[in-house]
Structure 1
């Protein structure tokens, strides 16, 4: 498995568009069709996967499992039904929907463009907050999130074999949908004022996707409150574990197996361990040395690196900087 190609038994999480379509016979029918007829969309799928993984790494940067892509461990994570796998599937599915939708709005795809808004009737009140009411209408270039949603669903939700109803497929499909809905269900309204001297006599408004950091934040909340589930007797439904647990909704993340503690490197579980990770000796969150180092202790180390300094602007128009050596004290898990 190469560092740029991540494949799981369920949805393929692929970073390189050439790798995605290199062996289309291994792909499900809808995916193979996308590779053959719309390769430019496959390129956006790859961008979306990278966007999702970067957001995953940001959200878990201070945790024992930090979403690091390592060929020895990451594939094992994807093969399990733990919370971390749920987040990866959700954020990647969201990233694909986001990237394809954004490419539509930027005019980079022939198959789509701006959201089709003329059929939508304005509400009696302006959608954006303000102290003075103004006439407004839909216009501008809204994000066609439905197109991005559909393409993410087409590529990320692999077709199951006839009669197949295993719990992993159900869990992966549920988490894929949860990720897409975090983009689709939280569209925001942007408006531009028109009028003399900024009077805002008329507003033109359009719908935009939420910032992707917001998508990651919401999915992290769902990760922290994820539902443990098991398969129903007929294998076609997910049932929450516990007598008083409510049924998870479509935006909840679900899992069926407990996560390892991720303290030590373990190829079987996909744990890269925390040895050598930088920790915070004074923090009280997950980055605290006691927690991150799993009680093994930590050592202090001074590292040096170069950075720009003493920068000056020279008319016109050059910025000149010197290179300075900076030393930083780090606490590293042993």
Structure 2
């Protein structure tokens, strides 16, 4: 699902009866990603969120940027599934009232997006309170290279994401939803922090690379999304321990989940039909592929209801030639294509 031209607004609302601050995205004009609007009703925010709103408005702006990045990635990862990370306001709010796999992914990818946005802004010099990562420069590299450059200060982004995303009012005993959300938030941050990549630059005459300096960069956000999508597919169902303090696997044969696993406690609806109660819009009218046996195939995506086919005609560039120097000249071709839509 493309989101070009769509304005995204970050809201926080109080989810009753658990008194937990939940995160949701709402889409539509004239809502704008404005830190002032996010913080305007700061009395409804948890303590650390309120403090950041008062003293670090620039961090709130990066939180909003992180949510926008996460939304795009969520819609990419689920573009061919029955639930496609739709941002219809009431639908999305109802999705996040349940502790399902989908909710687990949303919290994880959002926390990851906030880490990413804050860290990138830090590396770009937009945040005066942080600088490049330099702690790696004291580590030995056996002469293969020297640490240098401006590495991504992911630790700072991690801390700010944790402060803002994990802020909670006093947790009641047996509050399983809060435990699950905080775990999934951490899984998202870990998907960034634990998978840093090394980037290097050669120095020397004619690119001889007599000296090579390297620094650590965050993974590409698409890789973060792919990793969390794999965790979504293998998410672990959990129950609350008798003392109300821990999450346990729902089954004696299931291994205890680790920090990188996504957790849920409620079964997801099948999202085949429209359901106001579950926030499902159904799959009627969705484009599908009749030749695919996968989740994007008409059999699975249309839930056995069948599909309709429609012939469409459109224009596209073709027979393009490069002319020296320096332009590409293309012809316009009329293309016919058959599209298939779920009934």
Partner Cα separation in structure 2 for residue 39 and residue 71 of structure 1:
25
Q: 2:159 aligns with which of 122, 145, 150?
A: 150
**Equivalence for 1:300:** 309
Q: 2:34 aligns with which of 3, 6, 17?
A: 17
**Equivalence for 1:47:** 65
Partner Cα separation in structure 1 for residue 283 and residue 64 of structure 2:
29
**Equivalence for 2:117:** 99
Partner Cα separation in structure 2 for residue 118 and residue 299 of structure 1:
58
Question: C-alpha offsets along residues 45-80 of structure 1, whole Å, 9 cap, x if unaligned?
Answer: 111011111111111111111111111311111111
Q: 1:31 aligns with which of 49, 55, 61?
A: 49
Measure how far apart 1:316 and its partner are. Answer: 8.1
**Equivalence for 2:100:** 82
TM-score w.r.t. structure 1 length? Answer: 0.90
Query: Aligned in 2, Cα 1:228/1:155: closer, same or farther, shift over 3 Å?
Result: same
Partner Cα separation in structure 1 for residue 165 and residue 256 of structure 2:
24
Measure how far apart 1:20 and its partner are. Answer: 1.5
**Equivalence for 2:234:** 225
Aligned residues of 2:25 and 2:92 also touching (Cα < 8 A): no
Q: Are 1:207 and 2:216 an aligned pair?
A: yes
Query: Aligned in 2, Cα 1:322/1:20: closer, same or farther, shift over 3 Å?
Result: farther
Measure how far apart 1:105 and its partner are. Answer: 0.8
Query: Aligned in 2, Cα 1:284/1:305: closer, same or farther, shift over 3 Å?
Result: same
Aligned residues of 1:6 and 1:75 also touching (Cα < 8 A): no
**Equivalence for 1:288:** 297
Question: C-alpha offsets along residues 102-154 of structure 1, whole Å, 9 cap, x if unaligned?
Answer: 1111112212121123652222263xxxxxxxxx2111010000011011111
**Equivalence for 1:249:** 258
Aligned residues of 2:82 and 2:283 also touching (Cα < 8 A): yes
Partner Cα separation in structure 2 for residue 41 and residue 58 of structure 1:
26
Question: 5+ residue gaps in structure 2?
Answer: 1-6, 16-20, 27-32
Partner Cα separation in structure 2 for residue 40 and residue 310 of structure 1:
48
Q: Are 1:4 and 2:15 an aligned pair?
A: no
Aligned residues of 1:98 and 1:183 also touching (Cα < 8 A): yes
Q: Are 1:269 and 2:278 an aligned pair?
A: yes
Partner Cα separation in structure 2 for residue 283 and residue 125 of structure 1:
51
Q: Are 1:191 and 2:200 an aligned pair?
A: yes
Aligned residues of 1:230 and 1:256 also touching (Cα < 8 A): yes
Partner Cα separation in structure 2 for residue 165 and residue 212 of structure 1:
34
Alignment of 1:102-141 (within 5 A): 102-117=120-135, 120-124=138-142, 126=144, 136-141=145-150
**Equivalence for 2:185:** 176
| Greater RCO (Cα-Cα under 8 Å, separation 6 or more) | 1
> Higher mean Cα deviation, 253-262 or 315-324?
315-324
Aligned residues of 2:25 and 2:87 also touching (Cα < 8 A): no
Q: 2:85 aligns with which of 67, 71, 74?
A: 67
Query: Aligned in 2, Cα 1:6/1:303: closer, same or farther, shift over 3 Å?
Result: farther
Query: Aligned in 2, Cα 1:202/1:261: closer, same or farther, shift over 3 Å?
Result: same
TM-score w.r.t. structure 2 length? Answer: 0.87
